[in-house]
Amino acid sequence: MEKFTADKITISELFTKKDLIYKIPINQREYSWEKEYIDNFWEYLTDIDDNYFLWTIVLNNEFLDKEKYKEIVDWQQRLLTITILLSIIRDIFIQLKEVWKSEQIHKNYISNVNDDNVDIWYKIVPWKSLSEYFRKNVQDKDSRIRESIPWTNEEKRVLTNYNILYSKVEKYIEDTSEERKSQKLSELREKIKNMELVYIEVSTPEDAFTFFETINATWMKLSTADVLKNLVFKDTSYSPVDIDKIWNWIIENLKNNDEQFDLTKFIRYFWLSKFGKVTDKKLYRAIKDSIKIDQKTKTKKYKSYDEFVSDLEYNSCLYWEILFPNENNFQWILKPFYAFLQNIKVLWVTQPYPAILALIRIIKSDNFPSVSTSKILELIKAIEHFTFVYKISWKSPSPLEWLFSEIAANFNDIDSKVKFEERIRKSKERINDMMPQKEEYLANLEKKVFYTKNKKDKEVLIYFFDKCYFWTNEIKFEHINIEHIYPQKPSSWESYDSIILHSIGNLTMLWPKFNRDASNKIPIDKVDYYKNSEINKTKELADYITQNWWGKDDIINRTNELKEKSWEIFKF
């Protein structure tokens, strides 16, 4: 790193640094502290009698000399929360007729004022999406936040947390006399002022990222995507408003109500799909080094930040098709691609995504070479079946990313049918090289595919039976039930252990109504339900049970038959 300094300071020392502004840059998350964080912060603040250590604040001083501000790289959630709390204390002091104390808090910890006690600027400047609301309703001395109408989630979170903290402060200073209330409020103010933190200064955003690679910051850690946003948009021709719209659109489009969505993962998979292997730690540097600012340089992957942003935005649309398969997107020569994407989702693995993204990108490009549909389908079938066997064989998932990023990179300079078909052939060979042995697959199949109440396990189980029995690739998971041939809780007859009962040999598929009606009946009493099934293999079971009965040996034999049958289907 170019420059790195670290000191221990208090909140009081942080806020009272002369003529200094702390700005929250565009790459930072919106204000998102929920009640759990507020409760933890308050408990920590009020329960400890000595010094209060709040971990580490990281600041970028890149703009200090010319523009007189420091960027908050990490700790913005707590700084905004502390500012809200200080504004509450300031306002309650006014109610207690402690005007001088209120003004001291305002000018020392919230605002910078001139000689006439007029606000010049505020100590903390949130990103534009929040700055106006925060200034008017938190930082201004005559704020009326409880009368405000918040519009965005960020603004609503500020109002919610203000109310939570206000109630906590009221309860904390609860007493019979105004004088005692004022004393307690002063004590709370001192607790905040004396909080200690490690003050880290870096000279560039890249140095901040390097810092986070080596220091595991707690609470809300800065992600690669956060730092990248600041990097790639710093030198674009986009306006700040457009920048924010593009970035937020990518997030919201791919997130689609999934709170666990990881933007960094998408960016990394996008990179793997185009340029091959890169680790999480090296992703930021790889992207930074790929952008060509000097037009005379011929070695860079992108001519400008604008080009990179445009490519990222386009690929996010293709990635959306992987995350949320839609049959309408594959109506032409590759309609089976839809079933493939559905099946990959059912397997609950993401490592093939770079290769899938590369394939979708090329088949949807204007330069897509005229190639036999069967060739492409051979490859996606190989990817799907290999992924299932690899998952079942309990192999480490780590090598999968390198395999599929290698395959993806092979499809990024296709300009002819011959080259495309050659890359398909080589990709299938590479997949075959990593295919687990039959013994590994068979030894682990019963441990990985069996009945549980877990949604993911059920979907894998239905996928397995669809491949072995039905061959439709169109099983609707919400329209079919897993049926225990020998019941889980038989009303009579012999009891078996759960391993036997939940094994693939004792399971079949049945439409929900038949499954409910058959319920815990013994197998011979289920025959009529099985005969009326629309699933041929379930009908065949009716004939077998009628002629041979159904017991432990039948379950074991059918388990072994299914294992062998599935290997013949999934190998290639």
**How far is it between the farthest Cα atoms of the chain?**
100
Q: Give the pLDDT of residue 504.
A: 92
66's enclosing H/E stretch is: helix 64-67
Using CA atoms in the order 330, 249, 61, 37, what is the torsion angle rounded to 10 degrees?
Answer: -110
Per-residue confidence at 453, pLDDT binned at 50, 70, 90?
A: confident
Retrieve residue 170's tokens: 């009221």
Q: Give the pLDDT of residue 481.
A: 80
- What integer best gives the mean pLDDT of the chain? 81
> Which has more confidence, 218 or 85?
85
> Which has more confidence, 433 or 75?
433
378-427 pLDDT, tens per residue? 899 999 999 999 999 977 777 888 899 999 988 887 777 888 889 899 99
Model confidence at 316: pLDDT above 90: yes
Q: Give the pLDDT of residue 519.
A: 67
Retrieve residue 17's tokens: 């640094």
Say if residue 105 is exposed, middle or buried (CB neighbours under 10 Å; 0-12, 13-18, 19+): buried
- β-pairing, 4-10 vs 195-202, is antiparallel
Per-residue confidence at 219, pLDDT binned at 50, 70, 90?
A: very low
Say if residue 75 is exposed, middle or buried (CB neighbours under 10 Å; 0-12, 13-18, 19+): buried
Q: What is the DSSP letter of 202?
A: E
Model confidence at 475: pLDDT above 70: no
Phi and psi at 319, nearest 5°, equal -65, -35
Q: Among 518, 559, 546, 534, which Cα is nearest to 470's?
A: 534
Q: Give the pLDDT of residue 297.
A: 46
Q: Distance of alpha carbon 546 from its chain centroid, rounded?
A: 51
Spatial contact of 20 and 70, defined as CB atoms under 8 Å apart: yes
Q: Is 9 helix (H, G, I), strand (E, B) or coil?
A: strand
> Where would I find the H helices in 262-335?
263-275, 280-290, 305-323
Model confidence at 140: pLDDT above 70: yes
Q: Give the pLDDT of residue 268.
A: 93
Q: Distance of alpha carbon 316 from its chain centroid, rounded?
A: 14
Task: State the first-to-last Cα distance of the chain, in angstroms, to the nearest integer.
Answer: 50
Residue with tokens 């309990």: 394
Q: Give the pLDDT of residue 24.
A: 81
| Residues with Cβ within 8 Å of residue 9, at least 6 apart in sequence | 196, 197, 199
Cβ count within 10 A of residue 14: 21
pTM over 0.85? The answer is no
Q: Give the pLDDT of residue 488.
A: 80
Q: Distance of alpha carbon 467 from its chain centroid, rounded?
A: 30
Q: Where are the domains of the chain?
A: 4-205, 469-562
Model confidence at 474: pLDDT above 60: no
Q: What is the DSSP letter of 526?
A: G
Per-residue confidence at 220, pLDDT binned at 50, 70, 90?
A: very low
Retrieve residue 566's tokens: 């599935």
Q: What are the angstrom distances between the C-alpha of 507 and each of 87, 330, 471, 513, 555?
A: 63, 33, 17, 17, 9
Model confidence at 450: pLDDT above 70: yes
Per-residue confidence at 567, pLDDT binned at 50, 70, 90?
A: very high
* CA atoms of 13 and 11, how far apart (whole Å): 5
Spatial contact of 62 and 169, defined as CB atoms under 8 Å apart: no
Concatenate the DSSP letters of all residues of 110-145 into one string: IEEE-TTS-EEEESEE--HHHHHHHIIIIISTT--G
| Residues with Cβ within 8 Å of residue 67, at least 6 apart in sequence | none
